[in-house]
């Protein structure tokens, strides 16, 4: 049994909250875990947003016996959530599962460069609120016979595919960051927009959202 020891109960609570939010969008969600030393990265893909969400978790030690080895496995998000013990600040790594295709398509570990043009946190939150309000208004105006899933998806794609200010970051990445609890800070210095190759990454103190400029389904992704 592989046991992860988190630095404290707050870190365990944040991990549980992240997993709960992923499961809200996909009850069968899988997450890829990559750990080395005292750092654990948890990758998830909420289908509503078409982005990769990354939650960095601080570990007190990698494994129950302090073994100096790495971990790279795809597991059920639900089973991992059930194993989180907030009081003990531990989590048991469930058995590996056959993950969806995205688990083999991750952004690079290094080579990230800052990108200019990211608005302040308040402006980003206002942008998401405006998008939600526009979606509700436009879909409510549809005649009943036109209020189909395809039409709702089309309106959503139009709104959330818009880019943020003068950057290439789609608004859906900011929406995902807010929905997953990453956009909690009011300090602009705590947020950053980074790029590495065709990948863009919105980094916050609570997690990151990564997205490809050409979309996750395009060619040229990093496979590892």
Q: With a cut of 60, say whether residue 68 has pLDDT above it.
A: no
Placement of tokens 């991992």 in the chain: 80
CB atoms within 10 A of CB 173: 26
Q: What is the pLDDT of residue 224?
A: 36
Return phi, psi of residue 136, to 5°. -60, -45
Domain 3-104 has CATH 3.10.150: yes
Q: Which residues contact 73 (CB under 8 A, 6 or more apart)?
A: 32, 33, 93, 96
Separation of first and last alpha carbons in the chain: 25
Distance CA(187)–CA(184), nearest Å, equals 9
How do the domains of the chain map onto residue ranges? Answer: 3-104, 113-212
- Please give the pLDDT value at position 74: 96
Q: How far from 161 is each of 28, 55, 148, 213, CA to CA, in Å?
A: 26, 23, 20, 11
Residue 19, phi then psi, degrees to nearest 5 = -65, -40
pLDDT tens digits, 143-198: 988 889 899 989 999 999 999 999 999 999 999 999 999 988 667 678 999 999 99
Query: Tokens 């194993």 sit at which residue?
Result: 83
């Amino acid at each position: 049994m592989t046991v992860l020891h988190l630095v404290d109960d707050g870190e365990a609570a944040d991990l549980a909250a992240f997993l709960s939010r992923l499961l809200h969008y996909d009850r069968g969600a899988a997450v890829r875990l990559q750990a080395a030393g005292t750092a654990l990265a948890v990758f998830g893909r909420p289908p509503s947003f078409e982005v990769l969400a990354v939650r960095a978790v601080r570990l007190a030690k990698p494994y129950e016996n302090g073994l100096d080895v790495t971990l790279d496995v795809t597991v059920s998000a639900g089973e991992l959530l059930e194993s989180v013990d907030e009081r003990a600040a531990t989590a048991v790594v469930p058995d590996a599962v056959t993950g969806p295709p995205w688990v083999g398509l991750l952004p690079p570990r290094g080579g990230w460069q800052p990108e200019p043009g990211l608005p302040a946190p308040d402006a980003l939150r206002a942008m998401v609120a405006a998008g939600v309000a526009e979606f509700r208004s436009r879909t409510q105006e549809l005649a009943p016979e036109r209020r189909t899933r395809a039409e709702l998806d089309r309106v959503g794609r139009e709104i959330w595919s818009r880019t943020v200010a003068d950057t290439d970051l789609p608004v859906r990445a900011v929406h995902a960051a807010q929905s997953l609890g990453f956009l909690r800070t009011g300090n602009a210095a705590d947020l950053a927009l980074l790029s590495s190759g065709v990948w863009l990454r919105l980094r916050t103190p609570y997690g990151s959202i990564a997205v490809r400029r050409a979309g996750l389904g395009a060619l040229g992704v990093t496979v590892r």
